[in-house]
Structures are given as structure tokens and as C-alpha cells.
Homo-oligomer: A and B are copies of this chain.
Amino acid sequence: MAAGQARGDASVIRAVSPADHDAIWAILEPVIRAGETLAIPRDMTRQAALSLWLSSDRTVRVLEEDGAVLGIFYVRANQMGGGAHVANAGYVVAQHATGRGIARRMCAASLDLARAQGFHGMQFNFVVSSNVRAVALWQNMGFAVVGRLPEVFDHPALGYVDALVMFRAL
């Protein structure tokens, strides 16, 4: 993967600044509006989406390549109290940049971040089963399907589809 390596070398994963908000919304808006992968209202406003994604209980990073923000992800505790040793994470890639390994790089970085923060595992609560590329990628990144939630996602084109719970130890 020489080309992938070269791209990887030109990219950086870094914390978010207020100057990134336009770029983050440009990534989130089409994915939210499409409503095919995230359990987020399709009509969510920019302000609500940024408040959700940048909420204080999350550690948020963006992936920047040649000055352009191409992806965003967060890591947080999935539960409080006795469940606080397991992380949750979420990722969104700019639609024009899919298929280039950006989700994979962000996932790898999120696993490193979660390990550094002392988490023992990472759990995805709601992976839409029709998002087969994501499911395959998470499996490739070491996540196992530990639950299947029947018809819990109302896909705009496919109707009710299952969602998966995925987990890996750290």
C-alpha cells in the first residue's frame, strides 16, 4: 500500500479548534441529512450537531490532510460508574474522501487514544447492519459482533434494518 502510506504520511490527527467548525459541519451535514448510518435526526441543525459532537464528555479529533479536514471522531466513556472502563467512539468521513482508508486511520488512532486514557475495551452501540463497509472494517480492526438489535434502525431506503453491537478489548 505505497500510495496509502504516502497519503498517511501527509495526514495528521489533531485536536479540534473553533476554526474547524465549518469544516466539521461540512462533513457531518450530508451524513446526517442522508440518515443512512447515524441514529441522528435528519433535520438536526448545525448548532445541535456541533454541540453533540463536541460535547464536553468527548475527546474529539480531526484527521487533516494537506490542510483539509477529511474526518472527525470522538472517544468517550460508554457508561458511567461501573461501566466507565469501556470506551465508545464514533467516526465520520467526508463523503468526497471515502474509500481512502481514513476511517481505518481514525479507528486506529481512537484505539490508541482509548488505551492511553486507560480504557479496557471499546464498544460500538449501534452499527447499522446495512453499512456493510463499516461492519467489515470494524471486524478487520478487531471488533467482534456481540449483539444484534432487531430492526432498530429505520433506513430511509431499506426500511427497518438491524443494528449491531460491536466490541473489542484494548
How does the 8 Å CB contact mask read for A55-75 relative to B, with 1 for contact and 0 for none?
000000000000000000000
Per assembly, the copies of the chain total 2
A80 to chain B, nearest CB (A): 6
A135 to chain B, nearest CB (A): 15
CA distance A121 to B38 in the complex (A): 19
A159 to chain B, nearest CB (A): 10
Interface residues on A, range: 35 or more
Known: A35-B82, A165-B165. A151 touches B41 (CB 8 A): no
Give the interface SS of chain A, mostly helix, strand, loop or mixed. Answer: strand
Contact check, A81 vs B148: say whether CB atoms are below 8 A apart: no
CA distance A146 to B147 in the complex (A): 5
CB-CB under 8 A from A160, the residues of chain B are 120
Q: Which positions in A face B, CB cutoff 8 Å?
A: 35, 38-42, 44, 78-86, 120-121, 123, 125-126, 128, 146-156, 160, 163, 165, 167, 169
